[in-house]
Structure 1
Amino acid sequence: MSGTPFEKPGAEYLALVNDEGQYSVWPAAADVPAGWRVDLAAAPRQAVLDHIDRHWTDARPASLRAADGQPGQ
């Protein structure tokens, strides 16, 4: 079984973020999808997860936070 590129042991990943301040773990070997940008360069999966945990403290989209009168990330 080949598995998913999102959980390959020893692979490197990126932390991506979109304009709404939402984060994603992404395989470093894959092209970054449109609408996303790299927030953390290639790193082990756990380092990417830790980065996202530190920076994505409010899962609501930035547009919803703004509508609630709260600053975006």
Structure 2
Amino acid sequence: MFDTDAREFRVVRNSEEQYSIWTTERELPPGWFEVGSRGSKAECLAYIERSWVDMRPVSLRRSLSGSEGTAA
């Protein structure tokens, strides 16, 4: 049923740069902020697919940046 939901969704991200989608009528939990796109579930998921290119939390990427050099 969620896949055919006609409600409007929004793309949200937390401080670890992890993405999710929420319906626009729901209040966001602490630490999550709206970014980028609003629209259908499919549109929002497509935005995340294009934007979330490194699934590692930002804190992990930062801690590894010194030991990995420029490797991602």
Partner amino acid, structure 2, of 1:30: R
In the TM superposition, what are the counterparts of 1:30-45 in structure 2 within 5 Å? Answer: 30-45=26-41
- Match in the other structure for 2:5: 9
- The alignment covers a number of residue pairs equal to 66
- Counterpart of 2:23 (choices 27, 47, 66) is 27
Q: Taking structure 2 as the reference length, what is the TM-score of the superposition?
A: 0.81
Structure of higher CA gyration radius: 2
Q: Per-residue deviation at 1:50? A: 0.4
Give aligned-pair identity as a percent: 30
CA RMSD in angstroms, aligned pairs only:
1.9
User: Which aligned segments of 4 or more residues in structure 1 are displaced greater than 4 angstroms?
Assistant: none
In structure 2, C-alpha distance between the alignment counterparts of 1:19 and 1:9, rounded to whole Å: 28
More helix per residue: 1 or 2? 2
Check the 8 A contact 2:37/2:47 in 1, yes or no: no
TM-score (norm 1): 0.80
List gaps (5 residues or longer) in structure 1: none
